Chains A and B, each alone.
Chain A
Amino acid sequence: MLLLPGLLIIGALLLVPLIWLFGLSFIHDDRLSLVHYQRLFEDPSYIKSFAVTFQVASTVTALTVLLGYPLCYWMLRLPKAMQGVALICVLIPFWTSLLVRTYAWLVLLQRRGLVNTSLQEVGLIDEPLALMYNVTGTTIGMTHVLLPFLVLPLFASMQRIDQELLRAAAALGASPAFAFWKVFFPLSLPGLSAGALLVFVLSIGYYVTPQLLGGGSTVMVGQLIQRNVELFSSWGAASAVSVVLLAIVLGLFWLMNRLVSLDRVFKG
C-alpha cells in the first residue's frame, strides 16, 4: 500500500510517456505503419549514424577504462585525507555545467587552440591537427565528461577490496604483479563492469557534446532524434529511433546480467 504513490508517479512520469512514444513510432500519416522502422534499416544515413554511435561509445568506454582504472588504483594508494581531495578533483567537473565544459574543449581543441599551438611550438606537428568537428573531438569531449561515471563505482568497489588479501597473496609467494592480476583485478571487475556499462549506455544516447564538438559531419543517434523532431517535425521517426535505442540499452543490460550478475555489480 505504501508503495502505491511511488508506483503512480513512476507510471505517470515514465511508463505513460514510454508507451505513448512506442505508439507514435508505429503511426505514419495518422495510420498504422512500419515505415519508420523500415527507414532505419534502409536509409544509409541512419545505418551510418548507428555505426558511428557505437564506434564512439566503444572508444569512449575503452578510453575511460584506460584512464580511470589507473587513476582509481593510484587514488586507493593515497593517504585517507588525500583520497578525499583526489575524489573531489574528480567530482568538480561533475558539478560544472556540461555546456561550459564542452565549450572549454572547443577553445582548447580548435585550429588555433591551446593544444594545437602547444604541439606546434614544441615542434611535434607542422600543421594543426583536426581535433574538432569530427569523431576525434566528440570522443575527447565525451571521455572527459563521462570519466566520473566510471571512476565513482570503480573506486567504491576498489575500496571494498580487503587489503589483507593482498598481504596474504604476497605472503603466499605472489609477486606484486601476480597478486594484482590474480587477486586485485578480478575483485575490481564488478565495479569496472558497472562503470563501463554506465559510460557505454550514457554514450550511445549522448547529445550535447557530439552536437557541439562533432560539428555536422558526425551525426550520432541522439542528434538523429533531435533532427527528426526539430527539422522534419517527424515525431514518428524520432520515436522509432528512440525505441530502437532503448531496446539496445535494455539488451545490453540483459547481456551484462548474464555475464556478471547485476545484483553483484551494483552491490559491489
Chain B
Amino acid sequence: MRAVEDRSTAPILQPLAIKVRATTKRYGAVVVLDDVSLDVEPGEFLTLLGPSGSGKTTLLNIIAGFVRADAGSLLIGDEDVTDTPPHRRGIGIVFQNYALFPHMSVAENVAFPLIARRISRNEIAPTVDMALSLVKLDGFGARRIDQLSGGQKQRVALARAIVFKPKLILMDEPLSALDKQLREHMQIEIRALHERLGATTIYVTHDQREALTMSHRIAVLNQGRIAQLGTPTEVYNRPANNFVADFIGEAMLVPVMRCDDYTVLLNGQRVTLARRVPPSGDLMLAIRSEKLRPWRYGAENRIEAVIRKHIFQGESHVILAELDGGLALTIRLPTHVETDGLLPKEGERTAFSLHPEHAVVVSCDGQRPECS
C-alpha cells in the first residue's frame, strides 16, 4: 500500500550527485581537512558524523561556499561550483541555531529566498504556503519568530531551505537545540520529508544514534579524514578501525593477539570470528555491550568475567564486569521477567558468549576519540 503511494508521488526536487574531490583545508599549521574525497549519490541522505574538531563542519562550510578550500573541487550535478559564491550555489541550508530573521514573520522568512531570486509576487504566496504545508505549519505564516517554539522554528528553517527548490540540502546539526523527545520525532519527520522531496541531502551531526536513524550512508570523520563511509549497518557491524568502533555504539575495545586468519586470543582464550582478522597492526576486539549473552551450553566464544556492579535502566540491565587482567567490560541485557531471575549476582564469576558475527576485530590505525 505504502509503496504504491510512494511511487505515485514523484520527487519534488531534482536529485543531483555531489562530488567532493581531494579537498584540503588548513588553518595555519592545523590541517582541518586532509585530502577528503566524497561522492554523494543523487537523492541520497548522507550524514557527516564525527566528534567536534573532526572537520565535519569545515567540510559543510566548504560545500556551502562559506569557506574556501586550499585545494580540491566541488561538483553539484555536472556543474563545478568550486569558485561559485554561496548565494549562487542554490543550496538550501538549515543552520544549527535556525538563523531565522527575527524582524520578519514566518511567511516573510520563507519568502526570503524567493524574493532574493526575483520571483514574481503572485507566485510567491502559493509557493510559501506549499513549503509551510510540507513542514506541517499551515496557517503559521503571519506569526512572529519569537512566538514560535523550538520545534516550530526548526520547521520554519526547513521550509525556508526547501522553498526555492534547492539543488542540495545541507543540515548543520539542526536538531541539537531540541529536547530528546522532540529530536527523535523530528528525525523521523526529516526523513519522511527527504523521501517526499527527493533532493540529495548532507546532514552533519555528532550524535551517532541520529546518524544511524536517518542516513542512507554515513561518512565517519576523524581528524580531517573520512575514517569510514558506509551504510548504518556497515559502520555499526563492521567498523573499519578502532576509532569507528569506539565512536559508534557502546563498545569496549580489548587488545587481542592474532592467532590465525579467523581466530584471535583474548587473555589466552580463543575467540573465533566470522570475518578475516585484519592482516597487520595492533589488534583490538570491539565488544558491543548488547552483543554479549549469558553463556549457554553449545554457544561460541566463551568470555569469563567477574561481576562488579548491576544497574537497572528500565528497558535494560547494565552489568559492569571485569575481565581477567582488570579490563572493564559492560554488558547490556534486556529486562524481561523470564530472564531477570537468571542474572548473575555482584561478585560472582560468570561466563558470556559472543557470536562470531559480532566478534569484530579492528586494527588501531584510527585515533581514539578521546585523543582528537
Contacts and interface: CB of A to CB of B under 8 A. Distances in A.
B97 A175 contact: no
A244 B91 CA distance: 58
A172 B164 contact: yes
A174 B101 contact: no
Contacts of B103: 186-187
Which of A162, A169, A172, A173 is the most central at the interface, judged by chain B CB atoms within 10 Å of its CB? A172
Interface of A: 162, 164-165, 167-176, 178-179, 182-183, 186-187
A174 B116 contact: yes
Nearest to A164: B99
A226 B64 CA distance: 63
B102 interface: yes
B42 interface: no
Contacts of A174: 87, 112-113, 116
Contacts of B64: 171
B87 A173 contact: yes
Given A167-B66, A173-B164, A174-B87, A182 B99 contact: no
A187 B116 contact: no
B160 interface: yes
A171 B112 contact: no
Contacts of A172: 87, 92-93, 112-113, 116, 160-161, 164
Given A168-B93, A170-B87, A175 B99 contact: no
Nearest to B66: A167
B117 A173 contact: yes
A158 to B, nearest CB: 14
B101 A173 contact: no
Interface of B: 64-66, 85-93, 95, 97, 99, 101-103, 112-113, 115-117, 160-161, 164
A170 B99 CA distance: 12
A187 B101 CA distance: 9
A187 B102 contact: yes
A168 B104 CA distance: 14
B167 to A, nearest CB: 12
B93 A169 contact: no
A169 B102 contact: no
Given A165-B101, A186-B103, A175 B87 contact: yes
A176 B116 CA distance: 11
Contacts of A167: 66, 86, 95, 99
Instruction: Identify the 10 closest CB pairs spanning chains A and B, nearest first.
Output: A168-B99, A172-B113, A171-B93, A173-B116, A174-B116, A170-B86, A164-B99, A170-B87, A173-B113, A186-B103
Nearest to B157: A168
A175 B86 CA distance: 9
A173 to B, nearest CB: 4
Contacts of A169: 87, 101, 112, 116
A168 B164 contact: no
9 contacts: A162-B97, A164-B95, A165-B99, A165-B101, A168-B99, A172-B93, A172-B160, A173-B90, A183-B101
A172 B92 CA distance: 6
Contacts of A182: 101, 112, 115-116
A258 B90 CA distance: 40
B90 to A, nearest CB: 7
Contacts of B164: 172-173
Contacts of B101: 165, 168-169, 182-183
A168 B65 CA distance: 11
Contact of B116 (A162, A164, A165, A175): A175
Contacts of B88: 173
B163 to A, nearest CB: 9
A65 B95 CA distance: 33
A264 to B, nearest CB: 11
Given A174-B87, A175-B87, A186-B103, A168 B95 contact: yes
Contacts of A165: 99, 101
A202 B117 CA distance: 43
